[in-house]
Amino acid sequence: MDELSADPLAMLAHAHGVGTAYEGSDRRQVSVDDGVVVAVLASLGVDASSADSIRRELAAVAEIQALQALPLTIALAEGTPRHLGVAAHVHLEDGRMIDVGDTLPADLPPGWHRVVTAAQDVTLVVAPARLPEVPRTWGWMLQLYALRSSGSWGMGDYGDLAETARRSGSEQGAGVLLVNPVQAFMPSHPLERSPYSPSSRRFANPLYLRVADTVAYAGADEAVRLEVQALAPDPDTELIDYDAVWAAKLAALELLWATQDTGVVGGDDDLVAFATFAALAECHGADWREWPRELHDPVGPAVVAARSSLANRVDFHMWLQRLCREQLDAARDAARDVGMPVGIVHDLPVGVHPGGADAWALQDAFAAGVRVGCPADAFNPLGQDWGLPPWRPDRLAASGYAPFRDVIRSVLRHADGIRVDHVAGLWRLWWIPPGEPAHRGAYVHYDSEVMLAVLMLEAHRAGAIVVGEDLGTVEDVVTATMHERGLLSSAVLWFERDWDAPGQPHRRPADWEPETMASISTHDLPTVTGWLQDERIRVQASLGLLDQPVEEAYAQAEVDREALFDLVRAEGIQGDDAVVALHAVIARAASRLVLSSPADAVGQLEQPNLPGTVDEYPNWRIRLPVDLDAFFADERVHAAVAPMRAARPPAR
């Protein structure tokens, strides 16, 4: 604190949660340039451009602190009292009021409550101290778009998700499915392919609708159904053509919409706003920042007038969301019907597209012009820029964390679990201010107690599990806190090594942390076959993306391979099939959940996504080489899952 006192800019940054230094991937302290700190503070509405402005801002902070005895939002773990230091009443979610004096009692029920004092009225989030124990089972991590079936149109859909749940549960004994993000896409041309840059995290992606599974299709006359069927795109394209698939589905859904009675759609204000965005995007383009200025205000008179003139189109997009909800619910019900002990876990991206529906409707909650990413490290010497706007922590607190709550709640509406991408973002995010490259940023800190409480309360209410993706450079407190609170962290076979030991040997699976979800690989890493054949090195070399001589890359890959097969031999695993052997390794993991991917099980060479590329590699467009019927009949798949089935038999 003495160092902060000697540096007014550091004091001001600390008061607003902006880090002026951080520990790099090499465990060394890195100082943030003062100009970057000033720019990040400006993104929070704080003027630190001169010594006088810093003094004024510090005085404003002191004045606010003097007026507010309590933070704007308080988190409380169930069973834990908290001293407030000021007399208060608690207004419970169910309408009751409790006089608590100056201490929140330990017996408050989980829920969204309010603490009211003579001077303040703040949000109180009471969450379970710990989530229930996650069942020990195995399952699949799906790239849903990659699935093939006789009923889907050129890419996997919600119908394929339901069928995979039914068949993997009943035929294979799987207990969990992890699904790539299926949040609403950017309505651009060409369509945004990455599921990790959605238009909205609060609404679903109609691209995954199965047209023939809708009530409207079932109720249409034969002529309409034939017209719809005639729109189906080529089902056997080598790569997914997102634009062709959406053009066909949109035309089919418009035909079916024309058969619907008026007045069949209803929705809350958030759904109306989302549907309004979709209708306006059809007229003015996908990115709201390029619309006429008067349409930038989502509650302004121009938008209200446009909503009225586009009423039928707004209703159409609301109807699409209703269809998505029905088909997502059907998939979840299919998992439950076959007795999956966990069920379907949906993936939550770290952010949204800056030009999309959420960034338009919730402008006050986001830091305009700022992008989220990662600082420089050994693998990314220039840092990473994900191009996504971050939440403003001050605006989240002022709103009682309602925007974050609504995101979590919307995902869990159709899920038995949620995987939080870059879960460290509940603690801090790397902010890259406007005009700066990725490595010139700063960490901005969030109230992790509240963020975690919101996540846990909503999961508790949904009866869902929570998995956090904590791979890469993550503070120790993140993983430790997740394990304490009953959230699973992530374990990947490639990375489960003793990094401090000579030769960095792989850790035996029985010694892995139990509170984890384990897998051989991820969507950003090579498939098993790709790893065995050095496919990633070949592709990166062909694209000029290797950061070392190609001979060195191949030599290091051979060393890494041998190190992993040392583990296979140490485990006494026999056989010549490396794919089966690696599945046998993770089957023995102490982890509560063990997942494989269909691409690994069938021996697919290509990985789904190659980080560092956009159009140079067919990211998110690679389909499975077999359809679902062939997948469930495939002897390679049977052999791969056999050790996992034996180690984790179905528990109905």
Whether residue 198 is contained in a domain is answered as yes
Task: Report if residue 576 sits inside a domain.
Answer: no
Are 78 and 60 contained in the same domain? no
Q: Whose structure tokens read 């979709």?
A: 278
Statement to judge: residues 15 and 88 lie in one domain: no
**What pLDDT, in 10s, does the model give residues 57-72?**
999 999 999 889 999 9
Number of domains in the chain: 3
Domain boundary, last residue among 67, 92, 107 = 67
Distance CA 73, CA 70 (A): 8
The edge-to-edge listing of strands for the beta sheet with 428-432 is: 384-388, 371-374, 428-432, 442-445
Token code pair at residue 330: 């059907």
Do residue 145 and residue 273 come from a single domain? yes
Tens of pLDDT, residue by residue over 436-452, are 999 999 999 999 999 99
Domain membership of residue 26 as a residue range: 2-67
Q: Would you say residue 270 lies in a domain? A: yes
Estimate to the nearest angstrom the gap between the alpha carbon of 464 and the chain centroid: 15
| pLDDT band for position 1 (cuts 50, 70, 90) | very low
Which of 325, 350, 374 finishes a domain?
325
Residues 141 and 280 both lie in one domain: yes
DSSP calls for 189-224: SSPP--TTS-SEEEEE-GGG--GGGSHHHHHS-HHH
Assess whether pLDDT exceeds 90 at residue 235.
no
- pLDDT digits 0-9 by tens, 525-535: 999 999 999 99
- Give the pLDDT band of residue 376 (cuts 50, 70, 90): confident
Dist CA 12 CA 53 (whole Å): 11
Collapse the DSSP code of 121 into the 3-class scheme (helix H, G, I; strand E, B; otherwise coil) and give the result. Answer: strand
| pLDDT tops 80 at residue 96 | yes
What average pLDDT does the chain have?
Answer: 95
Pair 412, 462: CB distance under 8 Å: yes
Tell me which residue of 474, 358, 430, 386 sits closest to 40, measured CA to CA: 430
227 part of a folded domain: yes
Q: Which of 325, 342, 363 is the last residue of a domain?
A: 325
What tens digit of pLDDT does each residue of 535-592 get? 999 999 999 988 889 999 999 999 999 999 999 999 999 989 999 999 999 999 999 9
Is there a single domain that holds both residue 108 and residue 206? no
Q: Give the pLDDT of residue 5.
A: 57
Residue 376 neighbours by CB distance under 10 Å: 18
Q: Is residue 273 part of a domain?
A: yes
Residues 594 and 138: beta-carbon distance below 8 Å: yes
Q: Which amino acid makes up residue 325? A: R
Tell me the pLDDT band of 379, cut-offs 50, 70 and 90: low
Within a domain: 605: no
How long is the chain?
652
Res 499: pLDDT = 78
Look at residue 649 and tell me whether its pLDDT is greater than 50.
yes
Say yes or no: 161 and 109 in one domain: no
261 neighbors 314 (Cβ within 8 angstroms): no
Residues 313 and 199 grouped into a single domain: yes
pTM (2 d.p.): 0.96
Residue 167 lies in a domain: yes
pLDDT at 262: 63
Q: Are residues 194 and 82 in the same domain?
A: no
Per-residue pLDDT tens for 394-422? 999 999 999 999 999 999 999 999 999 99
In this prediction, residue 264 has a pLDDT band, given cuts at 50, 70 and 90, of low
In terms of domains, do 79 and 59 share one? no
pLDDT tens figures, 313-351? 999 999 999 999 999 999 999 999 999 999 999 999 999
User: Are residues 260 and 123 part of one domain?
Assistant: no
Residue with tokens 């979840």: 332
The answer to the question of residue 316 being in a domain is: yes
pLDDT in tens, 469-511: 998 878 999 999 999 999 999 999 999 988 777 778 899 999 9
Q: What is the pLDDT of residues 27-50, one digit of tens each?
A: 889 999 999 999 999 999 999 999
Specify whether 59 is located in the same domain as 81. no
Q: 264 and 163 in one domain?
A: yes
The span from the CA of 171 to the CA of 641, in Å, is: 11
